[in-house]
Amino acid sequence: MLSEKLQTAINEQINAEIWSAYLYLSMSLDAETKGLKGVANWFYVQWQEELDHARIFMNYLNSRDCKVNLLPIAEVRTSWESVMEMFQETLKHERKVTSMINNLAAIAAEDRDFASSNMLVWFINEQVEEEESARDMIFATESVEGNKYGMYQLDKELATRTYVQASPLANAAE
């Protein structure tokens, strides 16, 4: 059984993952409104990934005979001045999520909960990828700043991004 402290923290993480999904869906909708369908697609894929992350945590709590407590989702911003601002906010947000995941890992280590520590390794690695992806998008956006054709090309490239289900969920149905 998980400690009460870890259960509470994982339930808070589930809420944070769903809030992240809500944020990225909002960014997707804002980009689409501005005619940036590729940017919208990039954030739509992020939305799907964040829902996967929440589901992985929910599945984990269920597998450990713990209760999932869904909390209210706080309001998110609905408009950004630029694509650059979206990606800068994404990096800032992902760094916050990394801190939260690290906190979960610290609690699991403190509890000597090796199963939870093992499960969290996937999320620690995922957060490295999430931050790198946001930094890459900032660099790509900087590269085309002020160049409408460059932004058009970047938007077309982002339209090709596809959703890939998180690996811990691929085995969940078995």
Residues whose CB falls within 8 Å of the CB of residue 16, separated by 6 or more in sequence, listed in order? 97, 100
Counted domains in the chain: 1
Domain of residue 83, CATH code: 1.20.1260.10
Q: Are 23 and 77 in contact (CB under 8 A)?
A: yes
What separation in angstroms does the CA of 98 have from each of 81, 147, 153, 169? 26, 33, 31, 20
Q: Supply the range of the domain harboring residue 111.
A: 4-162
Tell me whether residue 11 is in a domain.
yes
Q: Tell me the mean pLDDT per 10 residues along the chain, length 174.
A: 96 98 98 98 97 97 96 96 98 98 98 97 96 98 94 95 86 56
Which H or E run includes 80? none
- pLDDT tens for 101-127 read 999 999 999 999 999 999 999 999 999
Tell me whether residue 33 is in a domain.
yes
pTM check: above 0.85: yes
- pLDDT tens for 33-55 read 999 999 999 999 999 999 999 99
Tell me whether residue 153 is in a domain.
yes
Q: What percent of the chain has pLDDT over 70?
A: 98
Q: What percent of the chain has pLDDT over 90?
A: 92
